[in-house]
Amino acid sequence: MSKYGSFPGTRPRRLRTTPAMRRMVAETRLHPADFILPAFVREGVSEPVPIAAMPGVVQHTRDSLKKAAAEAVAAGISGIMLFGVPEESKKDALGTPGTDPDGILQVALRDVRAEVGDELLVMSDLCLDETTDHGHCGVLDAQGRVDNDATLERYAEMAQVQADAGAHVVGPSGMMDGQIGVVRDALDQIGREDVAILAYTAKYASAFYGPFREAVGSSLQGDRKTYQQDPANARESLRELALDLEEGADMVMVKPAGPYLDILARVADVSDVPVVAYQISGEYSMIEAAAEKGWIDRDRAILEALTGIKRAGAQNILTYWATEVAQKLG
């Protein structure tokens, strides 16, 4: 007998003794169906264009995008979220490529839907930032401010052309007041009640979006602090959640994921629809850069970060590692 008698009587380490034991008692498990792959498609390129700030991620051609979608199906992930990058000369103050049936995003939606049918959820980013010459997520007024209600009119048009192009899910991401209700109404008006809305419910004005600006060829000058949420605020997210649910959101999102796990947990605790989190470009790039330096174990860090996001309450995760991780999970 130990000189300490029967102490300690409780030994939690018994449940950590072997890989098999740890696997059996794991409270959180990752599955390929948890993942959604964000993907960029660029107009006017003949080869995929590497994104320097996001090692391993590219701006796809139409053909390479179709291949990526097919790989996503084979890996068993749930969806692909498309972002279109039009030619610079086509951008204007209203983001016309976003509502042109022949704009790059609409063309890509048709391509991917023809490639995968209903085997993969084809999702579309519903925002103007990629298509405007000023880089903001909406229409500007005479003072250069984002005009909320004029922007909603553009979002309604975008929703309709994206649905017509084959989107199963649209993702209004501009953080305009009332955007979910307007998009729902616009879809219903053309008989597309079947198209779901993934609401970007809590989207913060984050420094971690940096690499994404390169990925979409952003023309942004200034910042988006007048419409994206202040990182200092938490209760505000629950107010946004209540509004999005009231307006008809089918799913809700917290973005970024890693720096906002507390927000994700609070939203997941009260939401009665699926909760999604977006592991954004900066989160991706930090791990890739540190791994390239040899400072961290890349594969372990990726799985740990994704497990943390799911543990906090995300049912699904947008991540640039979606296909890779799903293939490894098997």
The residues annotated as belonging to the active site are 203, 255
CA proximity to 274, closest of 223, 198, 221: 198
Do 133 and 97 touch, CB atoms closer than 8 A?
A: no
49 sits in which H/E element: strand 49-50
Tokens linked to 36: 């959604």
What is the pairing mode between strands 49-50 and 251-255?
A: unpaired
84 sits in which H/E element: strand 79-85
Query: Bridge partners of 100?
Result: none
| Non-local CB neighbours of 169 within 8 Å, separated by 6+ positions | 79, 121, 122, 123, 124, 195, 196, 197, 198, 250, 251
State the number of CA atoms in the 13 A half-sphere of 237 facing the CB: 27
